[in-house]
Amino acid sequence: MRLTIIGTGYVGIVSAACFSEFGHVVTCVDIDEKRIAEYNAGRVPIFEPGLQDLIRRNVKGERLSFTTDLAEGVKGAEAVFIAVGTPSRRGDGHADLSYVFAAARDLATVCDEGCVIVNKSTVPVGTASEVEAIIAEVAPGKQLHVASNPEFLREGSAIEDFQRPDRVVVGVSSDYAKRVLAAIYRPLFLRETPLLFTDCRTAELIKYAANAFLSVKIAFINEIADLCESVGADVKGVAKGIGMDRRIGNKFLNPGPGYGGSCFPKDTLALLRTAEQANAKLRIVDATVEANDERKKEMARRVVTACGGSVEGKTIAVLGLTFKPNTDDMRDAPSLVVIPELQAAGALVRAYDPEGRSAAEAMLDGVEFVDNAYRAVDGAAAVVLMTEWNEFRALNLPRIRELLAEPLFIDLRNVYEVDEMAKAGFHYLSIGRGPVLPMEQLRRSAEVIA
């Protein structure tokens, strides 16, 4: 089938690459001439494991192309996917739908009769109806179908998520649109992927409800971690114990410095605004947003406390800046709160991230950026492990301890084992497991007691 993707941001380019890998002929359209030029030159401006190879293979196979010409890009397309940004609107938290509506207006005039216009962007309930109204206004009498097909892609594993999804959700308002979307996703039938057809409003809400629920799980385990520290329990054991219950599941039960990224913060706020407009209360989601915002500030306070109550003039090494590993995405990353809070307390911050430096430099002032973990910790009063990149999972601990001015290791992702860090001579603080003193200090304490 011939498909068009409007927007070559994260969702758009991953969807385009994967659809073309299925065998469809896909054209990507974007008004950003620089970005399209990069794609046409074989460069991928977005970091996602495996994406560059996928794009190059399908460009070479003439199944994937890029253009800034909308009319040319949609010519002959049986379906056009709108995959433009829907950022939180400044001031009120509503999703900014201006890009979606602008795309709908343009498509109404250039799409072929019978084309299916599919909202792939994350949009609030009722957006499909508004798109239908725009099309009817701009091109009265023209038969165009509107559908909703929300994405469920995790940054860092988006290709796997697209090609082997738990389910595909499609909202439609016509049998024709249903047949077209079923044909587009037919390659997944061999894997027996569930294809859930529903109305557009339900499909739109499924996306927001899913992200809100996962956000609640993260906020919940973070608060359980705090309780574990107070009562002497181990949050890893608690998470494992409750996660073995099939009604709960073991995903999103890793405590840390709070959620971030392009989806959870934006989508929970948008869902709350939708609920306000509908005079419905979402108390749990509201509490989750508040708890997550406070969580990030609390992480900075923990670092200050671990440093004896003051970080004035001290160098703090931060390992990892992006909101999660295997992405260069800095949007709403915990580091964007923790680092400025530390700087406000007088700390000098030296940081390293394998992929996020370029984006971080534009968002964080006064930070010294270096090109590896060992340069980051050299002479620092403490090291804070912020993002669990693979290269941080097996650091040379004796070397880290030797380079640090003080053997203080604050692990906000519970990457290391408590006993291991004690033996390595660190004063080790993690999440939900209590502080750990170096073995030699424990021995000295035991001798004093004896």
* CATH number for 323: 3.40.50.720
Quick one: 341 and 310 in the same domain? Answer: yes
Domain co-membership, 171 together with 239: no
Sign of the alpha-carbon torsion through 390, 15, 63, 69: negative
Residue of 22, 15, 354, 7 lying closest to 185 (CA atoms): 22
Domain membership of residue 192 as a residue range: 2-198
The residue among 224, 219, 220 whose CA lies nearest residue 236 is: 224
Question: What is the pLDDT tens value at each position of the chain, 450 positions in all?
Answer: 999 999 999 999 999 999 999 999 999 999 999 999 999 998 999 899 999 999 999 999 999 999 999 999 999 999 999 999 998 887 677 889 999 999 999 999 999 999 999 999 999 999 999 999 999 999 999 999 999 999 999 999 999 999 999 999 999 999 999 999 999 999 998 888 999 999 999 999 999 999 999 999 999 999 999 999 999 999 999 999 999 999 999 999 999 999 999 899 999 999 999 999 999 999 999 999 999 999 999 999 999 999 999 999 999 999 999 999 999 999 999 999 999 999 999 999 999 999 999 999 999 999 999 999 999 999 999 999 999 999 999 999 999 999 999 999 999 999 999 999 999 999 999 999 977 666 555 454 444 434
Note whether 317 and 346 are same-domain residues. yes
Q: Where are the alpha helices (DSSP H) in 279-409?
A: 283-306, 335-344, 357-361, 373-377, 397-403
Of 156, 173, 198, the last residue of a domain is 198
Q: What is the DSSP letter of 326?
A: S
Please count the structural domains in the chain: 2
225 and 132 housed in the same domain: no
The per-residue pLDDT for 442 is 43
Place of tokens 């909703």: 148
Task: Let me know whether 425 and 295 are in one domain.
Answer: yes
Same domain, 272 and 159: no
Distance CA 8, CA 19 (A): 14
Domain finish residue from 198, 228, 260: 198
Tell me what pLDDT residue 90 has: 75
Question: 228 and 129 in one domain?
Answer: no
Catalytic residues: 263
Report the residue count for the chain: 450
97-to-89, 118, 205, 227 alpha-carbon distances in Å: 9, 15, 16, 40
Strand 368-369 with 348-352, pairing: parallel
> What is the C-alpha to C-alpha distance for residues 301 and 120, in angstroms, rounded to an integer?
39
Task: Give the domain-ending residue among 198, 219, 252.
Answer: 198
CA distance 215 to 209: 10
Q: Comparing C-alpha atoms, which of 168, 175, 174 is closest to residue 153?
A: 168
154 shares a domain with 300: no
- Statement to judge: residues 25 and 79 lie in one domain: yes
Shared domain check, 434 and 371: yes
Is 65 in the same domain as 84? yes
